[in-house]
Amino acid sequence: MSLSPDRLPQDHFLSIRHDWSAEEVSQIFRLPFNDLLYHAQGVHRHYFDANTIQLSTLINIKAGACPEDCAYCPQSARHDTELEAEALMEVEAVLKQARQAKAKGASRFCMGAAWRGPKDRDLQPVLKMISGVKALGLETCATLGMLKPEQATALRDAGLDYYNHNLDTSEDYYKEIISTRRYQDRLDTLAHVRDAGMKVCCGGIIGMGEDDHDRVELLRALANLPHHPESVPVNLLVPVSGTPLAEQVPPLDPVDPLEFVRTIAVARLLMPASYVRLSAGREQMSDELQALCFQAGANSVFYGEQLLTTPNPQSDRDQALFARLGLRPEQADDVVHPETGQAAY
């Protein structure tokens, strides 16, 4: 396919596909910036209310001492960071934070634990957390590492709506970032989540030294899954002292802000009906850059002052930005399934 922006019909990207070629995705990345945003905004408006934003709150229910060697992560026991390991939170402490998140406008509550994969005994209190959060009327999401099929089923039965397991980067570049698990291990966990009937939250990290080809291949891998992830978090690397990526010599080049916006726009075009979430790195983004990302099709953010290990914008800053842009938090009755026309949850 050769893309000529002056010949593309407005509805060119509206269909949901799972057969994108590397050449097609590369050409979309290199569309003139205005044309790329024009098409991304058109697709976004077709599938979503352009002036609503989905708010998720993420908490770390078990921090540090992870045996994995992910080069970006301060929770790895292999890296000399200042993060102190913490035991699994008590159920009631998690529910207290969930109530606070809901009171501030969050509609989804995400729980993360620094495990390679949960042991069955670890999973039991997490199941209680999920059931409790679900009972509050919040969507539930968890990221606990690799899952066995029976663990995915138990999470579903407890009321888990979404499971997060990011691909992080392209399959080719993956070995430069992580050596303690294979790319296929991640794909296997995603398959277990799907087989259990849960929704998938899966994206990646931009700014780890990858090149344009790797960004193309990351988004292509996500878009060519048998079902698109319902949520696609796009993280901007936050280098944390003590992690290999932060200590790299020479240091990593910062990501061109407009290239980051392009990545958001291409994610929107390849996965039209998915939520595209601005995740880690928003603390370092200007209001203007975030506004461009929303224009490019991002329609979800993590909301609250802290992510798993990195800071996030203060709630009042987000509220002020949303007010300036005319964005309102998404509510359950705003969400309509693109195929059935019925409420999505």
The answer to whether 265 and 297 are in contact (CB under 8 A) is yes
Burial class (CB in 10 A: 0-12, 13-18, 19+), 78: middle
Which two tokens mark 132?
């409790």
**Is 277 considered catalytic here?**
yes
User: Residue 129 contacts by C-beta under 8 Å, 6 or more apart in sequence?
Assistant: 61, 91, 94, 95, 111
User: Residue 293 contacts by C-beta under 8 Å, 6 or more apart in sequence?
Assistant: 260, 261, 264, 278, 285
What is the dihedral angle through the alpha carbons of 312, 318, 322, 325, rounded to the nearest 10 degrees? -80
For residues 77 and 229, what is the distance between their CA atoms, to the nearest angstrom?
30
For residues 254 and 248, what is the distance between their CA atoms, to the nearest angstrom?
13
**Is 201 considered catalytic here?**
yes
**Is 116 considered catalytic here?**
no
Which is catalytic among the residues 186, 201, 215, 293?
Answer: 201
Which is catalytic among the residues 73, 108, 186, 215?
Answer: 73
User: Residue 104 contacts by C-beta under 8 Å, 6 or more apart in sequence?
Assistant: 57, 303, 304, 315
Nearest residue to 171 (alpha-carbon basis) of 159, 158, 181:
181
CA terminus-to-terminus distance, the chain: 37
Which is catalytic among the residues 66, 108, 220, 282?
Answer: 66
Summarize the chain as % helix, strand, coil (round to 5): 40, 15, 45
Assess whether the previous peptide bond of 226 is cis (omega < 30° from 0).
Answer: no
What's the full length of the chain, in residues?
345
Which is catalytic among the residues 108, 141, 262, 268?
Answer: 141
**Is 202 considered catalytic here?**
no
Which is catalytic among the residues 70, 108, 268, 293?
Answer: 70
205 in helix, strand or coil?
Answer: strand
Which is catalytic among the residues 108, 215, 220, 277?
Answer: 277
Which two tokens mark 253?
């080049």
Which two tokens mark 255?
């990501």
- Other Cβ atoms within 10 Å of 52 Cβ, number: 17
The answer to whether 95 and 41 are in contact (CB under 8 A) is no
Strands 275-278 and 162-164: unpaired
Query: Active-site residue numbers?
Result: 66, 70, 73, 110, 141, 201, 277
